[in-house]
Structure 1
Amino acid sequence: MLALSGRDAIQWLLQVEFAQSMGPIDDWRLSRESAEYLLENPEDVRPEYDWQEYQLGHSWETIRRLGSLGVLEFIDEMREVDDVEVPYSGYKLLTGGKRILESLLKPTESPFSVLAATLSQDESLTALEKEGGSRTGIDTVFNSSAIATARQARLVVHEIRNALIPAQIALGSLYSSMVGSQSEAELARFRPRIDPGIDRALKFVTDLLKTSELAARAPEDFALLRVLADAVASLATSLRIQLHVAPDLPSLSGYRERFVLAIVNLLRNAEQAGAKQVLIMSELEANNRNILLTVDDDGPGVRPEDRERIFQRGISLRSGGAGEGLALVKEVVESELRGKVACVDKPDGGARFRMRLPVAERTPR
């Protein structure tokens, strides 16, 4: 909520209340029933004694809070009736508040509704987890968050594709209509900037959906060597890639396809930086709890002051880069595999990415 402002902040707060509401007389949370009632009855101001006879049926505390939020005007005043001052109370739904409530009641999911419902579920699962118990509760929480991420991605992809594909079709018609005209050459000058941009945006949202839905699947145990081989095989590249990985390493546990994508992103990052060859090495730590995975390249390397920030979403040291590749690597390694990734010093030049990956827990017999 602190990252939002204005109507978005109010919308988010009320969406959380929606997800947690205990019904129309819940003093702390706006319910669906109360929102529907307010839209059906946008204004209701009566003498106070009339409210005693005809109860509202919804929480007055919630009505007052909506007044503080600017969703409605809470009325509490004296009015003259037959030369007598009579206390009146009630509310009047404001125009902006009407739009907020209508948005809350939309039958289709929104990013806010998906996230609010998932966070509420996660909070309940975490609270119910037994002290000192297994990781089952945590894994369930993470999985529900991953499902919500996939649902969010579907919403994003749907909206962006709905905006871009008609524009792409319209541009195609425009190009055809300009053939043979005086403006054809001028239009052709701009096409190399227009068409690739739309194609890149469509590919990005498609990849976003793919990676998010992969995360919604159940975690599984997998062999590191097989993942690395699949990542190398899936990459059309001129890079010379060497694998120095022992075949008998313990399994890792997580979302296998996501880890393949993370390795592919690391290799693409090396190629785009100008590297010609990459060396991938791994070893099991002495305590047998972690695998150390190192990806070295012979490119220009990364300056010490940039080695942490390159993992931030939206940060790219390359012109035209989206800043998503290494952010995905960090998300997969640290949030999903519960490991650690860092860009560290490489004395002989180039870039070195080092990952500490916890091995899968063995089930006792």
Structure 2
Amino acid sequence: MDIKLAAVIIHDIKNALGVLEGELHDMTMNPTREQALLAHETCASLQDKLIGFLTLYKAASQGLNARVDAVNPEDFLNGLVRNHANPRREIGIAVDASNMPVLGFFDENLIGLALEAALQNATRFARRQIDVGCMKDDAGYLVFSIRDDGTGLGSKEEKPSTGLGMELCRAIAQAHRKGDKSGSVSLFDRPDGGAEFQLRVP
């Protein structure tokens, strides 16, 4: 793992712990349901960052081994969306079942970790809607996609991303191998607006 990326991620985790400490302190004064929900979402986000960091560390030091199994992509994506902690409740997240195969072969724990990171990224930029899908391409790859209706890749944030999400997704995609083929990720602007993330596995 790149030492500069590791330092940025650890600094970001430290800041998130500071935010969580402040939220929990506020709850000791006059606890409300809204404060509890906010603290829970901060805690869930922090946990995801730690898992992502540890997964990347393992990929760099030991290599990731994908435990591939037969999975129903529609059930998998419905579960992912159902369990996604969305801090912006006004953003709708839907599974697009069109062209979705009945079976796919992938490590659902690793792919779930990657797509959760991509969903968190899409939630930051989407205006109203995020669509999640899966299809087989002409080369036989299984392609997971996350599409948002934001302003595209030129969007600016007050707090820039650490880059953990894409690095994590790339490591997980490349852990999926079949013969001389391995997975990949891409992120691009959509012609009709917004951005699309794709994760391909052989």
Pick aligned residue for 1:208 from 53, 65, 72:
53
Pick aligned residue for 2:193 from 349, 353, 357:
349
Look up the match of 1:82. none
User: For 2:52 and 2:115, how far apart are their aligned partners in 1?
Assistant: 15
What are the ranges of 5 or more consecutive residues in structure 1 without an aligned counterpart? 5-159, 176-198, 307-315, 359-365
Q: TM-score by structure 1 length?
A: 0.35
Look up the match of 1:267. 119
- The CA deviation at 1:353 is 1.6
Q: TM-score by structure 2 length?
A: 0.58
Within the alignment, does 1:321 sit opposite 2:161 as a pair?
A: yes
Residue pairs, 1:186-335, within 5 angstroms = 203=47, 204-205=49-50, 208-209=53-54, 212=58, 215=64, 218-237=67-86, 238=89, 239-245=91-97, 246=99, 248-253=101-106, 255-286=107-138, 289-303=140-154, 319=159, 321-335=161-175
- The CA deviation at 1:324 is 0.6
SS in 1 for 2:144: strand
- The CA deviation at 1:327 is 1.6
User: For 1:343 and 1:240, how far apart are their aligned partners in 2?
Assistant: 20
Amino acid at match of 2:85: A
- The CA deviation at 1:326 is 2.0
User: Structure 1 residues 244, 217: closer, same or farther in 2, change over 3 A?
Assistant: closer
| Contact 2:126 2:148 (C-alpha < 8 Å) held by counterparts | no
User: For 1:243 and 1:274, how far apart are their aligned partners in 2?
Assistant: 15
- The CA deviation at 1:247 is 5.6
SS in 2 for 1:258: helix
The structure having more radius of gyration, on CA atoms, is 1
Amino acid at match of 1:332: I
| Contact 1:249 1:284 (C-alpha < 8 Å) held by counterparts | no
User: Structure 1 residues 336, 356: closer, same or farther in 2, change over 3 A?
Assistant: closer
User: Structure 1 residues 206, 241: closer, same or farther in 2, change over 3 A?
Assistant: closer
More contact order relative to length (CA 8 Å, sep ≥ 6): 2
Amino acid at match of 1:324: L
User: For 1:319 and 1:325, how far apart are their aligned partners in 2?
Assistant: 15
Amino acid at match of 1:279: D
Look up the match of 2:28. none
| Contact 1:228 1:263 (C-alpha < 8 Å) held by counterparts | no
| Contact 1:333 1:341 (C-alpha < 8 Å) held by counterparts | yes
What are the ranges of 5 or more consecutive residues in structure 2 without an aligned counterpart? 4-9, 26-42
User: For 2:82 and 2:124, how far apart are their aligned partners in 1?
Assistant: 18
User: For 1:333 and 1:248, how far apart are their aligned partners in 2?
Assistant: 19
Identical amino acids, percent of aligned pairs: 20
| Contact 1:224 1:252 (C-alpha < 8 Å) held by counterparts | no
- The CA deviation at 1:281 is 2.9
- The CA deviation at 1:297 is 0.4
SS in 2 for 1:352: strand
User: For 2:148 and 2:138, how far apart are their aligned partners in 1?
Assistant: 26
User: Structure 1 residues 286, 240: closer, same or farther in 2, change over 3 A?
Assistant: same
| Contact 1:297 1:351 (C-alpha < 8 Å) held by counterparts | yes
User: Structure 1 residues 223, 276: closer, same or farther in 2, change over 3 A?
Assistant: same
